Amino acid sequence: GDSVTQMEGPVTLSEEAFLTINCTYTATGYPSLFWYVQYPGEGLQLLLKATKADDKGSNKGFEATYRKETTSFHLEKGSVQVSDSAVYFCALSGRNAGNMLTFGGGTRLMVKP
């Protein structure tokens, strides 16, 4: 079945550092790929998405590119802020699965001033 693997956290960075959170997936066909973020005490919020190969999703300075050849969707940000501290979830939705999402385990990011 479908699965998502992302790097374990926590990831601890200083403010203005470069961020990469790796995500790889296994799926049949051509899934849509997502990054969700969960700030403390809040629900899962969509951060960005990509629906086909080579698409780049971007939002709030975060980017991720749908790489079919490496089945990856790594999240990057050039300069993190303390306010980016949260848990980040990579997820996929199979073409024939309605909106059923398969999530990775989540990666906690802690940004220190």
Where along the sequence are the contacts to other proteins (CB under 8 A)? 34, 36, 41-46, 49, 89, 91, 97-106
Output 20 or 59, the one with its CB closest to other proteins. Answer: 59
Output 18 or 39, the one with its CB closest to other proteins. Answer: 39
Render 57-83 in DSSP notation, one character per residue. Answer: EEETTEEEE-BTTTTB--EEESS--GG
Output 46 or 53, the one with its CB closest to other proteins. Answer: 46
Structure tokens at 105: 């385990």
Shortest gap between Cβ of 56 and other proteins (angstroms)? Answer: 17
Dihedral sign for Cα atoms in the order 93, 24, 26, 107: negative
Structure tokens at 57: 């999703």
Output 1 or 113, the one with its CB closest to other proteins. Answer: 1
Q: Which residues contact 69 (CB under 8 A, 6 or more apart)?
A: none
Shortest gap between Cβ of 33 and other proteins (angstroms)? Answer: 12
Tell me the C-alpha distance between 63 and 18, whole Å: 12
Shortest gap between Cβ of 77 and other proteins (angstroms)? Answer: 20
Shortest gap between Cβ of 60 and other proteins (angstroms)? Answer: 15
